Amino acid sequence: MNKQEILQQYFGYSAFRKGQEELIDSLLSGRDALGIMPTGAGKSVCYQVPALLTEGVTLVVSPLISLMKDQVSALVQQGVRAAYLNSSLSDAQYRKALSNAAQGMYKIIYVAPERLVSLSFINFCKRIKIDFVAVDEAHCVSQWGQDFRPSYLNISRFLDQLPYRPVLGAFTATATDEVRDDIIRFLRLNNPFVLTTGFDRPNLFFSTLRPQKKSGKLLELLRERRGKSGIIYCSTRKRVEQLCNLLNEKGYAAARYHAGLSAGERMQNQDDFVYDRKQIMVATNAFGMGIDKSDVRFVIHYNMPKNLESYYQEAGRAGRDGQSADCILLYGKQDVSTCRYFIDSSVPNEGLSAEEIAVFRKREHDRLRDMTVYATTGDCLRRFMLQYFGEDAKDNCDNCSNCLTKFETADVTVEAQKILSCIIKTGQRFGVKVITDVLRGKESDKVKQWKFNTLSTFGIMADSRPAALRYIIEQLEQQELVESVGAGYPKLCVTKRSYPVLRGEERVYIRKVKALRTQAEAGSTEGISTGLLAELKELRTQLAKKRGVPAYIIFSDATLADMCRVLPTNDELFLTVNGVGQNKLEKYGEMFIPVIRAYVTGEKN
């Protein structure tokens, strides 16, 4: 078989997606490759197709047990002989898997990076023919990346111990230029073919909100999305516990996930989410890296992450099936302080000198600033994100909250002068809360303690709402007229750019919301029968329960939607549906085709 026949028979697709064929061709020619492709772009196909076209075994280095389990389950459903070797196996199961592999029973074997230092595993690999090694989540090898894992540094050492060096492919969803260079250097990729397909995910709707009360806004968002699968990310374990309890009290099927839980509970809660026993997962960023669940319809960040790399990776767990999904960030000023605390109190990876640690933290603070600008900007969110990753984008995407909001430009020079003057008169030693209290004329304990009620700036903006003042201060920070200094409770300070404004030599403009426009319906089910789609989903659920696999492994939502468009009434037409290969036709065609035929002939509506 050739690559096209492999794609059709095992994966059910008639054409490769952008970038897939080029990476596959490079690997099949014997050349190393690095693929930087967004979540949902089909990275796994880039190493699974070459694996089925080479004579020997392919090793896939993967960071999380759950990811291996899901990928192997999906491959077995597609008719591919695959297995995983990790700590979830008993000694007897591990020995059996090695024995099967030695007899050539598997084409693809998933392993954790920690396994690569095991002498028994190294000796096993020396006895079998390994033609290809794929490294998933390759950004984990970079000490400057957001998910550095020291065990990834074992990969190049492992390859050195093999009788010959196999072709090496590395894949990741997010990588700055610096991280990309680290991947090439630390994995020792040999003259690699490097391909970045672009970071845009057109099916994702990005939104930033600034609610007065986050919990109330969260419940409103969930009411609008009742019955859909989603993830809610929080910055702390305590917040995860609070929200999970709240959602269960309100009648939502929610599970929790954070590092403070036992391994058994984390695995059980993850399985409940993947198998649709729980529709909502409330989690810290410890959750999701290994999740291959394709039908997540929304990801809500209850707290802002430390950087855009983390945010885009976590938000990207929505809509992996290509169907429309929402990525919503609930921003609060306290999120910035929490992130600063985590940056300044965390201990970077071992082996860095004091100077390198200082550089690392400086970069982390710079990334936090970029994340904060994203959360507060009035510009197109998609454009901001794509430009951050070095990609060009049009000014308006018409698929984010800012592009669906009508703004107006406002001259706030006088307000800016009052705010800057207040910051200076209070000694540049206080945060937003004290500054807004002084400007509004509120005699709080701290204002009275420091006698700020005697200042000329006391009460000069008495008619301004606290939220409006905070918004102007944030915009001044974006324009580098103000900066926040210090961790925990940062103080506001002016910058050298502030003085021309104070002297009246420069004016200050910001964008203010004038009107909100309604988000357009995504249209992923446009022109298809919702009744038929619901019937196919119910059949899929029954089959998934019977076979003990997640529903999306049977067929994704996108595949079911395509069935409703194609309306296949025989085997030949069923094979034209995206996501249906020969193996799935043989397994499920006789169950799904009669349902569709009954709909087409009018025997069932």
pLDDT 10s digits, 10-34: 999 889 999 999 999 999 999 999 9
Query: Rounded to whole angstroms, how far apart are CA atoms 374 and 474?
Result: 12
Inside any domain, residue 434: yes
Inside any domain, residue 288: yes
DSSP H helices, 58-176, are 65-77, 91-102, 119-127, 154-160
Residues 6+ apart with CB under 8 A from 456: 425
Which uninterrupted H or E stretch holds 364? helix 354-376
Domain co-membership, 57 together with 185: yes
Average pLDDT over residues 476-490: 85
> Residue 536 to residues 325, 591, 604: CA-CA distances in angstroms?
21, 10, 13
Q: Fill in the DSSP letter of residue 152.
A: G
State yes or no: pLDDT of 518 exceeds 50: no
Domain co-membership, 128 together with 258: no
Closest alpha carbon to 599 in 531, 542, 546: 531
Question: Based on C-alpha coordinates, what's the Rg of the chain?
Answer: 27
Instruction: Supply the CATH number for residue 324's domain.
Output: 3.40.50.300
Residue that is last in its domain, among 378, 404, 430: 404
pLDDT classification of 285: cutoffs 50, 70, 90: confident
Domain co-membership, 148 together with 291: no
Domain co-membership, 489 together with 567: no
Inside any domain, residue 285: yes
Average pLDDT over residues 551-576: 91
Cα 246 to the center of its chain, rounded Å: 24
Query: Rounded to whole angstroms, how far apart are CA atoms 31 and 49?
Result: 15
Domain co-membership, 186 together with 210: no
Helices 20-28 and 43-53, axial angle in degrees (round to 10) = 30
Residue-level pLDDT at 521: 37
pLDDT tens column, 521-542: 333 455 678 889 989 999 999 9
State yes or no: pLDDT of 223 exceeds 90: yes
Residue-level pLDDT at 54: 92
State yes or no: pLDDT of 40 exceeds 90: no
- CB contact burial 240-271 (16+ within 10 A = b; e otherwise): bbebbeebbeeebebbbbbeebeeeebbebbe
Query: Rounded to whole angstroms, how far apart are CA atoms 402 and 515?
Result: 11
Domain co-membership, 13 together with 153: yes
Which of 152-156, 248-252, 457-461, 598-602 is least confident?
A: 598-602
Domain co-membership, 10 together with 154: yes
Inside any domain, residue 525: no
Inside any domain, residue 155: yes
Query: Rounded to whole angstroms, how far apart are CA atoms 453 and 442?
Result: 8
State yes or no: pLDDT of 49 exceeds 50: yes
Inside any domain, residue 522: no
Domain co-membership, 547 together with 400: no
Residue-level pLDDT at 345: 83
Which domain range does residue 444 map to?
Answer: 407-516
Residue-level pLDDT at 344: 86
Cα 275 to the center of its chain, rounded Å: 20
pLDDT tens column, 339-384: 988 888 876 666 678 887 888 888 889 999 999 999 999 899 999 9
Tell me the β-bridge partners of 343.
Answer: none
Helices 65-77 and 582-601, axial angle in degrees (round to 10) = 70
- Number of domains present in the structure of the chain: 4
Residue that is last in its domain, among 341, 369, 404: 404
Query: Rounded to whole angstroms, how far apart are CA atoms 585 and 522?
Result: 29
> In a 10 Å sphere around its CB, with 0-12 CB exposed, 13-18 middle and 19+ buried, how is residue 423 labelled?
buried
Residue-level pLDDT at 527: 62
Inside any domain, residue 364: yes
Instruction: Supply the CATH number for residue 462's domain.
Output: 1.10.10.10
Average pLDDT over residues 321-335: 92
Domain co-membership, 380 together with 429: no
Residue that is last in its domain, among 171, 196, 221: 196
Count other Cβ atoms within 10 Å, centred on residue 404: 17
Instruction: Supply the CATH number for residue 582's domain.
Output: 1.10.150.80
Helices 413-425 and 466-478, axial angle in degrees (round to 10) = 90
Query: Rounded to whole angstroms, how far apart are CA atoms 108 and 212?
Result: 51
Domain co-membership, 363 together with 496: no
Which of 240-254, 374-388, 516-530 is least confident?
A: 516-530
Residue-level pLDDT at 334: 87
Query: Rounded to whole angstroms, how far apart are CA atoms 93 and 100?
Result: 10
State yes or no: pLDDT of 514 exceeds 80: no
Residue-level pLDDT at 488: 62
Domain co-membership, 99 together with 217: no
Inside any domain, residue 505: yes
Which uninterrupted H or E stretch holds 531? helix 530-547
Domain co-membership, 224 together with 348: yes
Closest alpha carbon to 577 in 11, 5, 40: 11
